[in-house]
Amino acid sequence: MIVVKRFLLTLMLAAAPLAPVHAVQPDEVLADPGLEARARAISRDLRCPVCQGESIDDSNAPISRDLRLVVRERIMAGDTDAQVIDFVVSRYGEFVLFNPKAEGANLILWLAGPSVFLLGAAGAFVYIRRRGQPIAPDVALSADEQARLRDLIGK
Amino acid sequence: MIVEFGHFALVLALAVAVVQMTVPMWGAYRRNVALMAVAEPAAMIQFVLIAASFAALTYAFVTSDFSLVLVVQNSHTLKPMLYKISGVWGNHEGSLLLWALILALFGACAAWFGGNLPPTLKARVIAVQGSIGVAFLMFMLFTSNPFLRLAVPPLDGMDLNPLLQDPGLAFHPPFLYLGYVGLSMAFSFAVAALIEGRVDAAWGRWVRPWTLAAWIFLTIGIALGSWWAYYELGWGGFWFWDPVENASFMPWLLSIALLHSAIVVEKRESLKAWTILLAIMAFGFSLIGTFIVRSGVITSVHSFANDPERGVYILMILAVFMGGALTLFAFRAGSMEAKGLFAMVSRESALVANNLLLSVAAFVVFIGTIWPLLAELFFGRTLSVGEPFFNAAFSPFAVALAVILPIGAMMPWKRGEILRGMRPLIPAMLLAFAVGSLVWAMQTGRTALGPVGVALGIWVVLGAIVDLWSRTGRGAIAGRVARLGRLPRADWGKATAHAGMGITVFAVCAMLAWKTEDIRIVREGGSYALGPYEVTLTSVDEVQGPNYQSTMATMVVRRDGVEVTVLTPEKRFYPVQGMPTTEAAIDYGFLRDIYLVIGDPQDGGGYAVRSYIEPFANWLWGGCLIMAFGGLLSLTDRRYRVAAGASRRSAAVPAE
């Protein structure tokens, strides 16, 4: 999907390998709606390894279908969501995670927004505090301006 | 012949742009009126030449001139006329030509409408605009020439990507480019003011309409793209946090920040340096977007050298313009003394908070977009950043923005009191909270996103109405209603745009929280329940289109036995490109869309069918349109024109 979206704007790939989405097929769906909902939620956060920008939930690639089935197998086997995700990551690497883990260098990514916000808020606070007090006395009017002022008042 | 003429016009436009870049700049430095006067005709001639070049390329597409490489690669004789024309910009080279055309158009507009600018500022603005033109025309002529010929033309072309053969997409790029490139005007004004060494209230007033226009176009462009993704891609998603979408979203966020901070410059002569910086960065993000889209570096981390020559060239443009402007900024920012004083609780502070939230939000989108690249370069980690990150990292700032919006919008300038300022808003706040809680209680066990969206939407929309109403002063209701009609258009524009934002926030939350989905196998003649509806697949037929074959399903939607609509979702196959597409069938409704997609035939008979009920889908794009309309109302405010006349008189007096 996303590769398609990119295509339309980059307009550079001569033949996108995928077409419109078929994604989850009816035969994959689990009978238990609760478990199926979990499977869907997990597969929305896993990236298709071969098609750049899509989650396995949206992707039409055969490997994504395999991964969707793996996710459902693990769920049926009683794994927790985290275990299922770890299982897939152990095979395909962290590239498949759309939600990068907040550890190691990724902390920079996760903390960048909040820290810039705090820095900015502190800066803004100091700036506004300063704007609150008159910094310098007003510069005296020049002779021209005095004349113009008298002129205006005179009217 | 016409193609050669277009090619020649493009080369000539480059020569004119070089003149436009240098002569007026020198003239402004020497205070030479004759040299400065070169700016206007140069800007207009550059526009006319690029327009001629664009017309020539369009002619080649319309007449299917397959001696042009570009036409062969992106067109076909059987393609409908609309897509022959939109094919002009449906590719890298042609879209660059459109980009250059719009750039020149804005330069020419500065020449046409810039009568009230001080002569030196005007000459410098047009010269800076010319320098951007030089960079992009050279980029086009040296790396992406649309007018390259083939020695042996083929009999027919390779057709345009079928996904692009769509009316929504035909107009998406032009709007987006009008927005991207419109921000170049803010940039040119900022750089010209830095060279001039003067930023005052008048500057704020001049730069605001250009930014507003760019923002309106960006809003419409992004909404069109999102709408296209919604109906064309076949599963009802409307935003994917894809690098290319983010590339348009970052300048949009920054242009909103710029719009608001320019108000502070105009009314209170504060935040000058910050506003200049925003104007530079907003266009900088447009250039970064261009880089992301055209180099292929970020989306596909693994094919780093997708098109190294183009990527490097755009990176050079980015480095020269951002580096130059920021250096200039570093030297001159200190001299931009702020005048207006204001207290901690004031409209100024509220707008500072608005700018802080919007800039940080844009920064979060930026770091999320380039993180895969940075992580691979510096840490050797191949990873992805997708929707979950953006939802978690971006949403808090968006929510905070919506929460403070109504309060900030009604805060008086200079000094206010939180409690007094909020008094008229208390009913809106209570109502938003009450309805939000009610929705929360009614939908036990589902995500909190829905109720939060409802509460925020009500809060922002009612806040906008209260704001407008409070402008009518005191007294009898009848008198206030009468005064409502006489309020300046800028007030109406502000309230409308804010309300549009509230509606959009609500719709985004509603669509994410309350979507109904159904995936199943249906045989011809079979029926199934979808929410309160009953859907019947009556037949599946093979249909021949102009340049495609279609498998078209006919599906009847009933509610309580009464027919609601008949929908015909299709699967199309475009033989020239060998590509299938899905055409979802949508019944657009006020409160919900019914969205049906037909999939592949199944081994055991029947078809895979996907059905969705998308709540409040139209509100999303409606909200965007309302926002854009609000911008338009502000743009037509009389005060801009009155101010134009007033400053023309004062500009007649020699500066300083």
CB contacts, 8 Å: A105 with chain B: 375, 378-379, 381
Radius of gyration of chain B (CA): 27
Residues A24, A63 within the same domain: yes
pLDDT tens digit sequence for B27-66: 999 999 999 999 999 999 999 999 999 999 999 999 998 9
What secondary structure, in 3-state letters, does B562-573 show? EEEEEECCEEEE
Mutate to test the interface with A, among B159, B180, B240 (most CBs of A within 10 A): B240
Interface subset of B 303-322, CB within 8 angstroms of A: 306-307
Q: What does pLDDT average to over chain A?
A: 77
Q: Given A77, A96, A115, which residue is the final one in a domain?
A: A96
CB contacts, 8 Å: A5 with chain B: 229, 233, 240, 242, 244-245
- Whether B27 and B50 have beta carbons less than 8 Å apart is answered as no
Determine the distance in angstroms separating the CA of A92 from the nearest CA of chain B, rounded to an integer.
11
Give the residue from chain A lying closest to B231, CA to CA: A20
Token pair for B282: 């907003």
Query: Distance between CA atoms of B96 and A12, rounded to whole angstroms?
Result: 13
Query: Is the per-residue pLDDT at B548 higher than 70?
Result: yes
- Whether B619 and B453 have beta carbons less than 8 Å apart is answered as no
A87 inside domain: yes
Closest to B387 measured CA to CA, from B222, B229, B241, B512: B241
**Across the interface, do B519 and A6 touch by the CB < 8 Å criterion?**
no
What secondary structure, in 3-state letters, does B575-643 show? CCCCEEEEECEEECCCCEEEEEEEEEECCCCCEEEEEEEEECHHHHHHHHHHHHHHHHHHHCCHHHHHH
Over range B619-645, report the average pLDDT: 82
A101 inside domain: no
Give the residue from chain A lying closest to B345, CA to CA: A128
Q: What is the largest CA-CA distance in chain A?
A: 93
Q: Which residues contact B544 (CB under 8 A, 6 or more apart)?
A: B550
- Residue B252: the pLDDT is 96
Residues A84, A44 within the same domain: yes
Domain hosting residue A58, numbered range = 2-96
Neighbouring-strand partners of residue B551? B542, B571
Q: Which residues of A20-51 are buried (b: 16+ CB within 10 A; e: fewer)?
A: bbbbbbbebbeeeeeebebbbebbbbbbbbeb
- Whether B176 and B96 have beta carbons less than 8 Å apart is answered as no
Q: How confident is the model at residue B506 (pLDDT cuts 50, 70, 90)?
A: very high
Half-sphere exposure of B472 (CA within 13 A, CB side): 17
Over range B271-289, report the average pLDDT: 92
- Residue A141: the pLDDT is 73
Residues A125, A67 within the same domain: no
Q: How confident is the model at residue B297 (pLDDT cuts 50, 70, 90)?
A: low
- Residue B306: the pLDDT is 52
Query: Is the per-residue pLDDT at B624 higher than 90?
Result: yes
Q: With an 8 Å Cβ cutoff, is B69 touching chain A? A: no
Give the residue from chain A lying closest to B177, CA to CA: A9
Mutate to test the interface with B, among A5, A47, A89, A142 (most CBs of B within 10 A): A5
- Rounded to two decimals, the ipTM of the complex is 0.85
**Across the interface, do B307 and A12 touch by the CB < 8 Å criterion?**
yes
**Across the interface, do A121 and B163 touch by the CB < 8 Å criterion?**
no
Query: Is the per-residue pLDDT at B419 higher than 90?
Result: no
Kind of pairing, strands B570-574 and B562-567?
Answer: unpaired
Give SS3 for B535: strand
**Across the interface, do A26 and B608 touch by the CB < 8 Å criterion?**
yes
What secondary structure, in 3-state letters, does B92-121 show? HHHHHHHHHHHHHHHHHHHHHHHHHCCHHH
- Residue B140: the pLDDT is 92
A51 inside domain: yes
**Across the interface, do B169 and A44 touch by the CB < 8 Å criterion?**
no
pLDDT tens digit sequence for B302-348: 333 356 677 888 889 999 999 999 999 999 888 777 777 888 888 88
Going by the DSSP 8-state scheme, the letter that residue A48 receives in this structure is -
Give first-to-last CA distance, chain B, whole Å. Answer: 54
Q: Which amino acid is at B236?
A: G
Q: How confident is the model at residue A148 (pLDDT cuts 50, 70, 90)?
A: confident
A36 inside domain: yes
Residues A73, A41 within the same domain: yes
A111 inside domain: yes
Q: Which of B91, B237, B342 is the closest to A131 by Cβ?
A: B342
- Residue A52: the pLDDT is 65
Residues A26, A47 within the same domain: yes
Give the residue from chain B lying closest to A98, CA to CA: B386
Mutate to test the interface with A, among B161, B245, B447, B523 (most CBs of A within 10 A): B161
Q: Supply the DSSP string of B401-467, one letter for each residue.
A: HHHHHHHHHHPPSS---HHHHHGGGHHHHHHHHHHHHHHHHHTTTS-THHHHHHHHHHHHHHHHHHH
**Across the interface, do A99 and B389 touch by the CB < 8 Å criterion?**
yes
- Residue B500: the pLDDT is 96
Token pair for B356: 């802080």
- Residue A4: the pLDDT is 44
Residues A113, A74 within the same domain: no
CB contacts, 8 Å: B599 with chain A: 22, 25
pTM of the model: 0.88
Query: Distance between CA atoms of B270 and B29, rounded to whole angstroms?
Result: 27
Mutate to test the interface with A, among B164, B294, B389 (most CBs of A within 10 A): B389
pLDDT tens digit sequence for B187-203: 999 999 999 888 888 88
Residues A70, A22 within the same domain: yes
Q: How many domains does chain A have?
A: 2
Share of chain B above pLDDT 90, in %: 50
Q: With an 8 Å Cβ cutoff, is B579 touching chain A? A: yes
Residues A86, A139 within the same domain: no
pLDDT tens digit sequence for A65-89: 888 889 999 998 888 888 999 998 9
- Residue A140: the pLDDT is 67
Q: How confident is the model at residue A3 (pLDDT cuts 50, 70, 90)?
A: very low
- Cα dihedral angle (A46, A52, A58, A59), rounded to 10 degrees? -110
Among A32-36, B292-296, B392-396, B580-584, name the one with the lowest average pLDDT. B292-296
Residues A77, A135 within the same domain: no
Higher pLDDT, A7 or B98: B98
**Across the interface, do A113 and B359 touch by the CB < 8 Å criterion?**
no
Query: Is the per-residue pLDDT at B79 higher than 50?
Result: yes
Which pairs with CB-CB distance under 8 Å and at least 24 residues apart come from B641-650?
Answer: B643/B202, B643/B205, B644/B115, B644/B116, B645/B116, B647/B116, B647/B202, B647/B205, B648/B115, B648/B116
Determine the distance in angstroms separating the CA of B444 from the nearest CA of chain A, rounded to an integer.
16
**Across the interface, do B384 and A3 touch by the CB < 8 Å criterion?**
no
Query: Is the per-residue pLDDT at B622 higher than 90?
Result: yes
Higher pLDDT, B163 or A96: A96
Determine the distance in angstroms separating the CA of B196 from the nearest CA of chain A, rounded to an integer.
23
Residues A7, A74 within the same domain: yes
pLDDT tens digit sequence for B345-371: 888 899 999 999 999 999 999 999 989
Residues A69, A130 within the same domain: no
CATH of the domain at A52: 1.10.8.640
Residues A92, A127 within the same domain: no
Q: How confident is the model at residue A134 (pLDDT cuts 50, 70, 90)?
A: low
Helix pair angle (B119-143, B2-30), 10° resolution: 140
Determine the distance in angstroms separating the CA of A78 from the nearest CA of chain B, rounded to an integer.
23
Query: Distance between CA atoms of B329 and B333, rounded to whole angstroms?
Result: 5
Query: Is the per-residue pLDDT at B380 higher than 90?
Result: no
Q: Which of B91, B300, B519 is the closest to A11 by Cβ?
A: B91
Higher pLDDT, B242 or B299: B242
A61 inside domain: yes
Over range B67-80, report the average pLDDT: 87
Cα separations in angstroms, B127 against A145, B94, B123, B231: 35, 25, 6, 43
Query: Is the per-residue pLDDT at B545 higher than 90?
Result: no
Which segments of B152-304 are extended strands (E)? Answer: none
CB pairs under 8 A between A and B: 182
A110 inside domain: yes
Q: How confident is the model at residue B301 (pLDDT cuts 50, 70, 90)?
A: very low
CB contacts, 8 Å: A21 with chain B: 233-235, 582
Among B90-94, B308-312, B594-598, B634-638, name the one with the lowest average pLDDT. B308-312
Residue count of chain B, please give it: 656
Q: Supply the DSSP string of A81-135, one letter for each residue.
A: HHHHHHHHHHHH-GGGBSS--SSTTHHHHHHHHHHHHHHHHHHHHHHHHHHHS--
Interface subset of B 364-403, CB within 8 angstroms of A: 364, 367-368, 371, 375, 378-379, 381-389, 392-394, 397
Q: Which of A19, A27, A105 is the closest to B375 by Cβ?
A: A105
- Whether B572 and B565 have beta carbons less than 8 Å apart is answered as no
Q: Given A96, A128, A146, which residue is the final one in a domain?
A: A96
Over range B145-152, report the average pLDDT: 88
- Residue B296: the pLDDT is 64
Q: Which of B235, B242, B349 is the closest to A2 by Cβ?
A: B242
- Residue A95: the pLDDT is 86
Neighbouring-strand partners of residue B567? B555
- Residue B479: the pLDDT is 85
Q: How confident is the model at residue A45 (pLDDT cuts 50, 70, 90)?
A: confident
Query: Is the per-residue pLDDT at B503 higher than 90?
Result: yes
pLDDT tens digit sequence for A105-123: 889 999 999 999 999 999 9
Mutate to test the interface with B, among A46, A109, A148 (most CBs of B within 10 A): A109
Query: Is the per-residue pLDDT at A15 higher than 70?
Result: no
Interface subset of B 329-348, CB within 8 angstroms of A: 338, 340-344, 348
Among B19-33, B133-147, B233-247, name the one with the lowest average pLDDT. B233-247
- Residue A12: the pLDDT is 32
**Across the interface, do A4 and B363 touch by the CB < 8 Å criterion?**
no
Over range B643-649, report the average pLDDT: 45
Higher pLDDT, B500 or B444: B500
Q: Given A96, A115, A139, which residue is the final one in a domain?
A: A96
Token pair for B547: 């340049």
Q: How confident is the model at residue B422 (pLDDT cuts 50, 70, 90)?
A: confident
